[in-house]
Chain A
Amino acid sequence: EDQVTQSPEALRLQEGESSSLNCSYTVSGLRGLFWYRQDPGKGPEFLFTLYSAGEEKEKERLKATLTKKESFLHITAPKPEDSATYLCAVQGIGDDKIIFGKGTRLHILP
């Protein structure tokens, strides 16, 4: 059964304090791993897709990396506006569906 586990559940950082969010996954044949950002009261917003181990994607202060068992979302010198819940999801080969993790709530203190 496909599974996605995110850690930590919540993370509080000072502005400028870099850190990483973890997404561990189990899937029989990875088609893609996705990262989303969700602000309170809004729908998830797509950030990245990673397809194979070793791949990296960057967007502003965010960098996503992928291994065969997990993905990391690295946040460099975060700002208060980076505060949000970050969701990880996976899709298996031949599957129309995406399985989501429960998310990491990130709070950046000014």
Chain B
Amino acid sequence: NAGVTQTPKFQVLKTGQSMTLQCAQDMNHNSMYWYRQDPGMGLRLIYYSASEGTTDKGEVPNGYNVSRLNKREFSLRLESAAPSQTSVYFCATGLAGKYEQYFGPGTRLTVT
């Protein structure tokens, strides 16, 4: 039982490159979330998926796209990376009817 897994753990991109961050969960949770965490800014929601087949924007969606591939997987794509997207990205899951979220270990992304 791995819980919430994220790949890759670390990534360095050049400005303008694209990449996809992967998140998978084996907790049978309905809801999945993508956050970014920056020093002094706290955790900010990028996108979320309340259930399979739905996605919604969070607080800071610009420059990102998401795909809820199935109940287990939720990916975050950067189409043209910018230095402002240097951050630590966390995926989280939650069970409908229970409000706490469970987080993955994070992806540390640097854009140069």
B43 at the interface (CB under 8 A from A): yes
- Neighbour of B48 across the interface among A43, A87, A97, CB < 8 A: A97
B 15-47 to A, binary, CB cutoff 8 A, 1 in contact else 0: 000000000000000010000000011111100
Distance in angstroms between the alpha carbons of A36 and B101 in the assembled complex: 10
A59 at the interface (CB under 8 A from B): no
- Neighbour of A34 across the interface among B41, B42, B45, B99, CB < 8 A: B99
Check B103–A44 contact: CB distance below 8 A.
Answer: yes
Check A100–B43 contact: CB distance below 8 A.
Answer: yes
Q: Is the interface of B mostly helix, strand, loop or mixed?
A: strand
Interface size on A, residues (CB 8 A): 20
Shortest Cβ distance from A107 into chain B, in angstroms?
17
Shortest Cβ distance from A20 into chain B, in angstroms?
20
Given A43-B90, A96-B50, verify A101-B42 contact (CB < 8 Å): yes
Distance in angstroms between the alpha carbons of A96 and B48 in the assembled complex: 9
Check B58–A91 contact: CB distance below 8 A.
Answer: no
Contacts of A44 in B (CB 8 A): 43, 90, 103
Shortest Cβ distance from A93 into chain B, in angstroms?
11
B63 at the interface (CB under 8 A from A): no
Residue of B nearest to A96 (CB): B50
Residue of A nearest to B58 (CB): A97
Contacts of B8 in A (CB 8 A): none
Shortest Cβ distance from A51 into chain B, in angstroms?
9
Distance in angstroms between the alpha carbons of A101 and B40 in the assembled complex: 10
Interface pairs (27), CB distance under 8 Å = A32-B100, A34-B99, A34-B101, A41-B106, A42-B105, A43-B4, A43-B90, A43-B92, A43-B103, A44-B43, A46-B100, A46-B101, A46-B102, A87-B42, A87-B43, A89-B43, A91-B99, A96-B48, A97-B45, A97-B58, A98-B101, A100-B42, A100-B43, A100-B44, A101-B42, A102-B41, A103-B42
